Amino acid sequence: MNTIIPFNKPYLSGNEMIYIKEAVLSGKISGDGIFTKRCHQFFEQQLGFQKVLLTTSCTDALEMAALLLNIQPGDEVIMPSYTFVSTPNVFVLRGAHIVFADSTADNPNLDPAQLEALITPRTRAIVPVHYAGIACDMDSIMAIAERYSLFVVEDAAQAIDSFYKGQALGTIGHLAAFSFHETKNIISGEGGMLAINDVRFADRAEIIREKGTNRSSFFRGEVDKYSWVDQGSSFLPSDIIAAFLWAQLENMVDIQTKRKALWQRYFMALTPLVRVGVQLPQVPDYATTNGHMFYLVCRSLDERTALIDHLKAQDINPVFHYLSLHTSPFYAGKHDGRVLPWSDHYTNCLIRLPLYYELSEEQQDRTTQAILAFYQPAII
């Protein structure tokens, strides 16, 4: 009997519990303790981010971005329809109208060729989503944003340790949001981070994160008391969460090396599927892969359903992914009626394969062999 191969398995690198205990014994387990500071320094000093702030989730980081941009009722925000609900929801909470763009034929990322036709006098921001950690065409997006005086918020939830023309994703737009959810490469269970690349937002980001107060300035000795000075909420995570994250960051090179190797093994083993029209992840010349996700794009919904059933019968657990948000029960009536064929294509046909640090080569080979067997003899 085969052992079950799950879709995901959270990885503990070794020091998580040690650092959590250290955080507890330090006497400060609320936000912005010693481990939060270590994580901030790691991203700013070693990875080149201008300024970062840990948050309790990527959703919170995106919500902070919406607050920083002063999104108002009636403002328009452009983003792909093929994304997680958090991407539009934070702007909807501010009263914005979401304008959904289609994906590209090559991958689920936003198609920049559609952007200019979607811009109106009410447009305030563009939110590219780096799907599977593969970069959007950021030069085109940033050029359009500059031409129309728009802000760019990178949804980099899946994009830790991915690059665009040698530049880390999350360092290009005005703001960026990352996730450390247990399904991501680097995890803290739940957790996120806001990256602030435009210095105009740096001070206010601290205030919004601290419930609208200048508490951070007070603790740095910059003011003699702290007050309620702006709107905000409690977006900062406990230092216990940061302690877990720090253990992961210390081992990021090892984690990433393993995940990238697994991604490459999938790619090499499944390349024959291209001959029958199954699409593998396409990484443009300007982008890298961070080993976050390996997916296939089947030729039809029926084929994907049959493939999932075939794999599950062999104790292998793949999953599909997003449902196009422009057709969702909440937003279908608010969408302008445009057909977004590529978004719907990925909704119906994309399947994600098991990929996690402790996935063994034997388990991976079982998965690839089962997939190849499903498509034989067509690929022979």
Domains of the chain, with CATH numbers? 16-250 (3.40.640.10), 252-375 (3.90.1150.10)
Model pTM above 0.85 = yes
CA-nearest of 223, 239, 249, 86 to 153 is: 86
Q: Tell me what pLDDT residue 2 has.
A: 80
* Distances in whole angstroms, Cα of residue 340 to Cα of each of 70, 101, 114, 243: 29, 7, 11, 42
Cis-peptide, bond into residue 377, ω within 30° of zero: yes
Distance CA 324, CA 166 (A): 31
- On whether the CB atoms of residues 25 and 242 are closer than 8 A, the answer is no
As averages over each run of 10 residues, the pLDDT of the chain (380 residues) reads 91 96 93 96 92 98 98 98 98 98 97 97 98 98 98 98 97 98 97 97 94 72 75 94 98 98 98 97 97 98 98 97 96 95 98 98 98 84
Q: Tell me what pLDDT residue 223 has.
A: 67
Q: Tell me what pLDDT residue 47 has.
A: 86
